[in-house]
Chain A
Amino acid sequence: EDQVTQSPEALRLQEGESSSLNCSYTVSGLRGLFWYRQDPGKGPEFLFTLYSAGEEKEKERLKATLTKKESFLHITAPKPEDSATYLCAVLSRGNTGTASKLTFGTGTRLQVTL
């Protein structure tokens, strides 16, 4: 069974204080790892897709990296508008044999204060 564990559950940072969120996973046949941002009352919003160990993606103050067992979302000099829940998900082969099952972690709630 695919498993995704995110840590910490909650993180409070001051504006400008860089940090990293962790996503560790156990999956058979990893086809991709996704990061999402979710604001209260909204659906998750896609951030990044990573496919293989060593891969990195960047967007503004966010940088996602991937190893064979975990992924990190690095937040550099965060601002209050970066406050949200960040979700990690792994894409694996489903029962039909195609890449069709996405399993989510429980997320990290990030709060950035002035």
Chain B
Amino acid sequence: NAGVTQTPKFQVLKTGQSMTLQCAQDMNHEYMSWYRQDPGMGLRLIHYSVGAGITDQGEVPNGYNVSRSTTEDFPLRLLSAAPSQTSVYFCASMSNWGASGLFFGEGSRLTVL
């Protein structure tokens, strides 16, 4: 099993550009989420989803959109990139019961110039 797969691993954008970070999981997990990790700030929740068609905002949702059309995929869209969105982004999934915790992808390092 691949687990949680994120693409791309690295990306450089110019201010104002848009892009989508892809996330796919093959564990049939209902719960999926996106976090950003910045030095000294820890992991902060951007958006999460408890199943196909259901999404909710986390701690830092501004500037990001998500959708969940299938159980497997949970893409994160940056509408108009800003330097403040330079960060490492992690996608994670778990079963709704959560006993095994979150399974994380390897991360996507985004730089906005």
Contact = CB atoms under 8 A, between A and B. Distances in A.
Interface string A38-77: 0001111111010000000000000000000000000000
Nearest to B57: A95
Interface residue range, chain A? 20 to 34
Interface residues of B, number: 31
A105 B41 CA distance: 9
A41 B104 CA distance: 12
A94 B96 contact: no
A83 to B, nearest CB: 18
Given A32-B98, A99-B98, A44 B50 contact: no
Interface of A is mostly: strand
Contacts, number: 72
A43 B41 CA distance: 15
B43 A104 contact: yes
B48 interface: yes
A2 to B, nearest CB: 9
B19 interface: no
A94 B30 CA distance: 14
B29 to A, nearest CB: 12
Contacts of A101: 45, 48, 58
A42 B102 contact: no
Given A44-B43, A87-B42, A95-B56, A102 B102 contact: yes
11 contacts: A34-B101, A36-B101, A43-B107, A44-B90, A46-B100, A91-B98, A94-B50, A94-B56, A100-B31, A102-B45, A107-B42
Given A44-B43, A49-B100, A104-B44, 11 more contacts: A41-B107, A42-B106, A43-B4, A45-B104, A46-B100, A46-B101, A94-B48, A100-B50, A101-B45, A106-B41, A107-B42
